[in-house]
Structures are given as structure tokens and as C-alpha cells.
Amino acid sequence: MKKDIGHRVLAAAKQRSQKADGSAQMHGPIGQNCEGRAQPLILLGASTGGVTALERVLTDLHPLGPAAVIVQHMPAAYLRNFVEMLNRQLPQDVALAKENTPLEDGQIRFAPSNGLHSEICRMKGKWTCRFSPAREADLHCPSVDRLFASAAVYHSDMIAVILTGLGRDGADGMHQMYLAGATTIGQDEASSVVYGMPRAAWELGAVGQQLPLRNVGPAINLAVAQHHENQGRV
């Protein structure tokens, strides 16, 4: 435990320094990147109650870990404030996603509320976000379903998480990812403010692990470590 605390403090200090000087050189078993091998990508979806849930999960993530892309149902002005607050609080680099900009280790990117969906693609060996127009029938924009579904083709490198929220956005997209072989995690009922989105995904059979909120972050870190091990990185 002492070693882990020391590692986290050191990693956080390094990441704070990287924010200040603009450098992004990653070190250590989770942050390292090997030429020609895909880093995993963490995808999260949340709605009602998601602010508190995301604060907890993101705090638990390894500071130098793989990039995370998040859809949180929230009006644009509130979302910008939330992102700015997280960027001040967390050692990671937190910002709104930009189209066709490479996603790097130690970054957390939120899908902007700009009337477009955020989707995942891979360009020149790098994960990136692309924006796509909303359809008239879409209930949510950005949509967790659209984010998850776009990543199903990259299933072996994906870790998808669905957190507290009203409705069922994300269930169908997560089901596609699960069937393809991605790692999928859902928040349990007892720790959810609204057990709507996680319930829909669970009942659809899309959730590989259903966990209390306190265990979601550690489970993501474990999945990242297993991905690295499978790729021969550790």
C-alpha cells in the first residue's frame, strides 16, 4: 500500500509538471507505449448522478494510464464548467474532445455538447475522435450508444464503462462491444443514483462485470494491466 501511494504521488507530480511545460513523455508499466502496438482506450457513459460517479472513477484511474473518452449527458455550459473543474482537481489532462486530434496517455476527453456525436476511430496508429451529425430520432446527442458502437470494431483494445443515469442510452452500443469481445463494466444498483442506464445494459447481457462504484476505477486499472500483459508489455 505504501509503495502504491508513493507511486501515485510521484505520478501525479510528474503529470502536473507535464501540464505546465507541455511535455507528454510517459513512463512506467501503464503509461508506456510500444511501437506498432495499440494502447487500450477507456470509454465511459453517464447521465443523472454522473458528476459524482465520474469524479470518483477518474480519481481512481492511474494518472499516466490510457486516454479516456466520456459522454456525460449535460448542457454545454455546465459541461464546460465540469471539465474545467476536473482539470484543476485531477493530475490528468482533462478537456473537451477535438475532432481528429490524437488521444494520448494521461488524457481525459469529454464529448462536447455541440449538436454532434463523438465517435472513435484510429488514424495513423493513434486513437482519435470524429464527430458525426445527429439524426432526428436520436434521444441524446452526444450519445453513449454512438460512442460505444463506433468502437466495437476495435473491441480487443476497448474498456467500456456505463455509470448511473436515467434511460437506456449506451445499452445497445455496449452490447455490440460485449458481443465483439470488449471488456465491459457496469455500475451496480446499490451505488447508482439512478439505476437506469446500467440496468438496461445489464438486462441486455452487455455487462461483463457489475460493480459498486468504489470498485469501478480499480477494475479499469486491472483491465489496462491485463491488456498490457496480453500484448507482452509487462
pLDDT in tens, 27-80: 334 444 444 467 899 999 999 999 999 999 999 999 999 999 999 999 999 999
User: Tell me: the pLDDT tens digits for 150-198?
Assistant: 999 999 999 999 999 999 999 999 999 999 999 999 999 999 999 999 9
Domain range list for the chain: 38-230
Look up the CATH superfamily of 38-230. Answer: Methylesterase CheB, C-terminal domain (3.40.50.180)
Contacts of 103 (CB under 8 A, 6+ apart): 41, 67, 69, 109, 126, 127, 128, 129
pTM, to two decimals? 0.85
Helix (H), strand (E), coil (C) string for 147-168:
HHHHHHHHHHHEEEEECCECCC
Query: Active-site residue 73, yes or no?
Result: yes
| Active-site residue, selected from the candidate residues 62, 73, 227, 228 | 73
62 is annotated as an active-site residue: no
Given the residues 157, 169, 172, 188, select the one marked as catalytic.
169
For the question of residue 138 being annotated catalytic, the response is no
